[in-house]
Amino acid sequence: MGARSGPRTGARPAVSLRKDDGPPFRRLLIANRGEIAVRIIRACRELGVEAVAVYSDADRDAAHVRLADAAVRLGPSSPTESYLRIDAVVQAALDSGAEAVHPGYGFLAERAAFARAVEDAGLVFVGPPPDAIEALGDKLHARRLARSVGVEAVPGTLEPAPVDRPDQVAGIVAEAERIGFPLLVKAAAGGGGRGMRRVEGARDLPAALASGSREAASAFGDGSVYLEREIRPARHVEVQLLGDVTGAVVALGERDCSLQRRHQKLVEEAPAPGLHPDDRRRLHDMAVRLGTAAGLRNAATAEFLLAADGAFYFLEVNTRLQVEHGVTELVTGVDLVREQLAIAAGRPLSETVRASAARAAEPAGHAIEARLSAEDPGRDFAPTPGTVQRWTMPAGPGVRVDTAIEAGDRVPPEYDNLIAKIMVVAADRDAAVDRLRRALDEAEIAGIQTTLPFHRFVTRDPTFRSAALSTDWVGEHWDGPAELGRAARAGQLAAGLAALASGTADAGPSPSGTVVTAAPTTVVPTTIPAREPGGTDGRWRRAGLEELVDRWPR
């Protein structure tokens, strides 16, 4: 392991918490990569904190490595040999002279063992205490905690299902019938849809418990599963929490994250549309009660389902900064990363945070985020790693883009597919939707297929405009193959018109004057031959089509 740049010391730093107005730390190690690492580095720059990056071999030339004051190699490209190695990350922090470690999100961010290892090394972990991470990371414990403070969780079990006890099958089936079908088998130790199984009736329950438990054990090292009623239709609404060392916990408003595929969020917005201020106060109060009972310090998010009858049901608490934290920042004016660092340094909640929390039930403005990923929305959001050939991101009033990508960068297959977060803020939701549509239309990406066509579709859909949202929205409204077919036909037409206009129907250039090579993952209809019947060179047609399919026509 070696540092790319900047000073290194072998001695453990003496950490002293600062409660003055100076930098919260002298040097911070960021245990992550990509856009979140860049986001944290920028906060460090503004605070006068030196930033130390870590990287795998796949990220040797990545943006977060170039921007940091120092960078330390963790190991090979595989996450298990680099970003997920607790010992390597802690040693990198010690070797680089860092005083604190920010985990970002993903990788080790919600591993209590990592937070504990950081603290045992004499460093500060920028996040909730290990005990809080451990308690809230166990979803069954979190459900029991919710019940203890009078917060209603989604109806279900509070103890692990007896997967390996055939003699108790009748009992768990009876419990499932009490909860009501259809229901979900869910992993107690993790999320993201891993270990989750939908069960229509009692006959399918034993097999769902067994397969869900196996997947949970593989993904999280813990095969515990439980039962939870399926709430449909429902919206996914979450509350941003901050807590400090004095025990104060506040809510900074809520976000709607209902547009999802395979339980992964695609579009988020703040505030959640259509809620009355009284509903917001009730929701925020429930989240604060949960955070206070858990001894929350630093940032966390309490997640809920909003049923069609207006009832809120607690789901879980994520003990980290969320991917979608930016929309809360745009609406509240609070820099959440800056606040995280201050809280970790022992400072109380700032006046900015307290003032924002006081008006959270009646927010001013509206923000929306589109998670742009290297995935093909025409093929069920299949991953599309590769090299970015063209990269133009939007700008202008009320637009923010968080990314670590530039033209010529490679999107590696080893990591998450998120490549940019395009966010907008405006005076109200209608204006925000208009602004997001404009921003997405300005974006230009070639070389890899992305979710840009899907997000453009969302901003033009009348049901999204009317905020008729639910976790089923994507499945009900988005037909990827059909949209891709329309794009292909539009590409053929555009190529033909360009050829007619230039009088070069048998020439090779594309409409822009350059031959465009499609990315390996780009879908090009096989009905287009390499040469037209009769020997006419058909490259013009293919080139024009490929150019448009690279970033589906509007």
How far, in Å, CA of 285 to CA of 283, rounded?
5
How far, in Å, CA of 441 to CA of 159, rounded?
49
Torsion angle (degrees, nearest 10) of CA 303, 259, 371, 130: 20
Annotated catalytic residue, options 27, 33, 255, 320: 320
Cross-strand bridge partners of residue 267: 259, 370
Q: At what angle do helices 336-344 and 325-332 cross, to 10 degrees?
A: 100
3-state secondary structure at position 545? helix
Rg (CA), the chain: 25
For the stretch 190-244, pLDDT in tens is: 777 889 999 999 999 999 999 999 999 888 888 999 999 999 999 999 999 999 9
| pLDDT reported for residue 511 | 37
422 — phi, psi (to 5°)? Answer: -95, 115
Residue pointed to by tokens 């279900």: 156
| pLDDT reported for residue 242 | 98
Which CATH number is associated with domain 3-126?
A: 3.40.50.20
What is the enclosing helix (H) or strand (E) of 90?
helix 86-96
How far, in Å, CA of 187 to CA of 201, rounded?
19
N-term to C-term CA, the chain = 47
Residue type, 312: F
What fold is seen in the domain 155-229? Answer: Dna Ligase; domain 1 (3.30.1490)
Could you please report the per-residue DSSP string of 271-285?
SPTT--HHHHHHHHH
Q: At what angle do helices 130-137 and 139-148 cross, to 10 degrees?
A: 90
The string over 86-96, giving b where at least 16 C-beta atoms fall within 10 Å of a residue's C-beta and e elsewhere, is bebbbebbbbb
Residue pointed to by tokens 């990509």: 34
Question: Which parts of the chain sit beneath pLDDT 70?
Answer: 1-20, 498, 502-554
The two tokens of residue 82 are 């680099």
**47, 143, 144, 142: which is closest to 99 by C-alpha?**
47
Our answer to whether residue 73 is catalytic in this structure is no
Cross-strand bridge partners of residue 5: 71
Torsion angle (degrees, nearest 10) of CA 447, 62, 442, 381: 60
Domain boundaries, the chain: 3-126, 155-229, 234-478, 482-550
How far, in Å, CA of 441 to CA of 418, rounded?
19
How far, in Å, CA of 314 to CA of 34, rounded?
31
pTM of the model: 0.87
Q: Who contacts 321 (Cβ-Cβ below 8 Å, separation ≥6)?
A: 36, 104, 105, 109, 127, 299, 336, 337, 340
Q: At what angle do helices 86-96 and 112-120 cross, to 10 degrees?
A: 30
| pLDDT reported for residue 517 | 35
What is the CB neighbour count within 10 angstroms for residue 370? 26
For the stretch 262-291, pLDDT in tens is: 889 999 999 999 999 999 999 999 999 999
Which CATH number is associated with domain 234-478?
A: 3.30.470.20
